[in-house]
Amino acid sequence: MKPISSEIFGLLSRAQEGANSTGLQHGGPGAVIDAPAARAKLVTQKPAETDRNLLAWLKSSLGVEASPQGRMMFPTAGGYRQEISHFNFYGLTDENRAKARQAVQGAMTSPTTDQCQEWVTMLHAATARRSDGETTLEIILTLYAACLAQYPADVAKQTCMDFALRREKPNWFPTLSELDEACEKASNQRKRLSESL
């Protein structure tokens, strides 16, 4: 029987290789993306910066103004937050829609398996945690990296950095659901933009 990590990363690697070899990214039928170049650019930016740059590029290059529409969310833990539910577009035509979709899909490029493992390892080293055995560490690395691989590269990297640099003491290693929820929030605007196109 193969270790769980080899099974999960085998699936991730095959999906990544398929995307890299064809230039197609998940969620963008027919959109041709230079995934390595998009990924290299994404990891140098913070998610909010990528989102701002993407909206600015749509306006300056395509003449498309994307206006976010929000809704109030009331978490069970209390308080509330504004969340983008969809976008309204001005200047969007059949001719420039494909280019807009391609730009958004480029900004949705996921990290490589190696990048995910590196960021989880960094996060693990920088946070407080209980003592784990070698097998447990391998499972943690595998599961957390698989979670990060579902999100844009800048979101995955910045989320790990944010958890690693939290000021609360002790700064505990996040649960898998905390990591997933933080990535989901950080990628919300781009996901809604992609869905709206």
Q: What is the residue extent of each domain of the chain?
A: 4-196
Q: Give the mean pLDDT of the chain.
A: 82
pLDDT tens string 44-73: 999 999 999 999 999 999 999 999 888 776
pLDDT tens string 19-32: 433 333 444 444 45
Residues 73, 79: Cα–Cα separation, whole Å: 9
| Contact call for residues 152 and 49 (beta carbons, < 8 A) | no
Length of the chain: 197
Q: Is the dihedral of CA 49, 190, 20, 122 positive or negative?
A: positive
DSSP codes of every residue in 155-176? HHHHHHHHHHT--SSS-BPPPH
3-state DSSP call for residue 152? coil
Least confident of 17-31, 69-83, 145-159, 181-195: 17-31
Biggest CA-to-CA distance, the chain: 57
How far, in Å, are 3, 12, 147 from residue 124 at the CA level? 21, 21, 15
The pLDDT of residue 78 is 62
